Structure 1
């Protein structure tokens, strides 16, 4: 059996899921031996349906609580996929849990309304190669997302433009006399726009590995701008598990900077033997 804990969000679901997986007859036998009331057939059915409906939510929590690849761009695709998978479970449920998927989705939309409407969250997801526009439902929404990324790439400052653009500008300067003779109009902005369009188009056709961003400087710059890693509760909790040891009653007046240095030294004490 699994005992729920307050620090792991999925532990309550895992505990109920373990109980619901036990056949009703075996569960009744176990309850009889433990001298506790056995769940009725209706209660057992409710537990199974409840766990099946909440299963996508637990998977989403595991993804968002992960310590690796915890990019901001993971949030929006995870929420969209979670809502679609939860609504897909409505068919086949009994009257006891028929409204549960809709309630969960409505709660997600209410709680994360700013994120679902955020262009920054959308750009963060678009610039992660494993997502791009694959998670977006509807051709119109995908086209709008591509247009948003192209517009963002066009706004990059000059020092973030790819090197091949600068090489083309140097070649243009070398033939300045010829251009002046023909009195060509300036088309720098159009050339930059076309280059941004082609870069985003090629990026959408590339692979799903994170390393492909090195081939697309503009897209990589947008990714670096919006995909700031946000720490989840699990690694932060482990980091400060020694906080009580460092912040003892005799050290109750430590400054933030001093506390940070002591905490880091406590974790890296095996590497500080020579210093001591």
Structure 2
């Protein structure tokens, strides 16, 4: 018997002839005597039993359906901000047909119609979401682009289950004619009504524009402040000439970020009234401006700055006050680490070096404006609650008051504190204090509420809260160290209370996360009510940032309705 491996790579005949030469002739005769017909039949039968499958590479690949293809094109147009006419471009059609030869690309008119249908569906979803919400905050502002003006409105609420803040862009409506207070008031009311939230909006946040301020002053709901025997009637001439009746606007709050920006720019300039501050400040700014201009206008200077200093200098932006602060911080760092290189740069390009007074001024300016930057960053956060407003402003003033050993920038400190007091006159009203008290990040653990001067107000507000929840008395003492930058900014250390009930146990609990309301669910609704408002109108400003991209040079002729559809679909893509 002869055995061999079928997977061997050796030639069997050659092996037999070389190794088994004495047996090879017998084996060859035996093979020749074997019936060739039987071999062919055996091969045929074995091949029929084990037949290798043949891959059909010509098989048709999967192609998306018409609906899937259309939705992909709509997503592409919305996300990439390309003109609507892109779908009629032969190159675009050719690209689509390259991937899917049988695809039929919709025309521009069909695209607009389908975008409109998607917009309607999105609006229905937002209305449905808002129908299950008890408290809503809106932000509003005006924006102009391509010789047209628009009113933008966004909505914000806290989900009752997850306690996460939710947001939606509601509208970007064309404002025809002048932006008068009555026009804006009616538009805001109509937008609230269209989403069925007119009785749910507890506060609307805007900037300090006079038209907005007057609109809310004239049409804000003041029913709670009026005696029951009297009815409030507005006798303004505008209302006498209007046929339609006005509903009321919700409570109004001015944007904290806008106010802080005004403090850091307009109010800070009043420090120039001090002669010593003015001399050093103007001298420093002139030298800095020359250095920034040289960097921007001379490629040789820019290359030398990179080579010697390692990075470009930050040039201030007139629309962002903190860009001047950041430029001073970077310049201060460069002067500390590479002053010789910077002096050499100035000498080589005919610029005047910074003197010792100016160097000290830069350090003092950075030190004074640092708390302003941190406060503005806290208030400008997209998901920041109203409970942060009062503690932030109080801590900001406290940190500025601590800066007493300044040689040049003391007038700047006084101007900032004066500006804050002027622009935040009602910062410690009941709603703001309650929002902070019921917020897990603060409770009673912030300096203003612990000040003996405010004990009467503190007791009154705590008693008010006790009426909102079952049982209540007052608490004992506990303490802890700050565990993050936020707590370090606010200086959280000691808590002081008495006895034991739901509210006091909440105050004594060291948990500063939102998940604490899983344990104290009785306080959850109070937290939602008072912290639903935002301290800032930054979300509507972000909406306008997207609008600038949507209504670009290649889309300047978009119809108002198409602009709103595209903008809101892009802004609400995560809903």
TM-score under structure 2 length normalisation: 0.36
Match of 2:504, SS state, is helix
Is 1:13 the counterpart of 2:325 in the alignment?
yes
Alignment of structure 1 residues 77-116 onto 2, 5 Å: 77-91=391-405, 93-94=406-407, 96-115=408-427
Alpha-carbon separation, structure 1, partners of 2:447 and 2:432:
13
**Which residue is 2:369 aligned to?**
54
Instruction: Output aligned runs, 1:209-220, within 5 Å.
Output: 209-220=513-524
Q: Distance in 2 between matches of 1:260 and 1:213?
A: 38
Write the distance in 1 (CA, Å) between the matches of 2:390 and 2:443: 11
Q: Does 1:29 align with 2:344?
A: yes
Q: Unmatched 5+ residue regions in structure 1? A: 166-191, 272-276
1:199 corresponding residue in structure 2: 502
Shift of 1:87: 1.0
**Bigger strand fraction:** 2
Structure whose residues are more often helix by fraction:
1
Residue of structure 2 in register with 1:74 after alignment:
388
**Aligned-residue offset at 1:135:** 1.4
* Residue 558 (structure 2) pairs with residue 251 (structure 1): yes
Q: Indicate the residue corresponding to 2:462 in structure 1.
A: 150
Aligned residues: 229
Match of 1:130 among 434, 441, 446: 441
CA offset digits 1:201-246 (Å, max 9, x no partner): 1111012112112333343222111112427465544433331454
Q: Which residue of 1 aligns with 2:197?
A: none
- The structure with the largest alpha-carbon Rg is 2
**Inter-CA distance 227–26: structure 2 relative to 1 (3 Å threshold):** same
Residue 264 of structure 1 pairs with residue 575 of structure 2? no
8 Å contact from structure 2 (residues 466, 503) kept in 1: no
Distance 1:259 1:231, change over 3 A: farther
1:111 is displaced (CA, Å) by 0.9
CA offset digits 1:85-126 (Å, max 9, x no partner): 1111112x11x22232222112111111112x3111111111
| Aligned-residue RMSD, C-alpha | 2.9
Separation (CA, whole Å) in 1 of partners of 2:425 and 2:572? 41
Shift in alpha-carbon separation, 1:99–1:245, aligned structure 2, 3 A:
closer
User: 1:3–1:11: 8 Å Cα contact kept in structure 2?
Assistant: yes
CA pair 240-83 structure 1, distance change in 2 beyond 3 A: same
Name the structure, 1 or 2, with higher relative contact order (CA <8 Å, separation 6+): 1
Helix, strand or coil at the partner of 1:57: helix
Separation of aligned partners in 1, 2:347 and 2:438 = 56
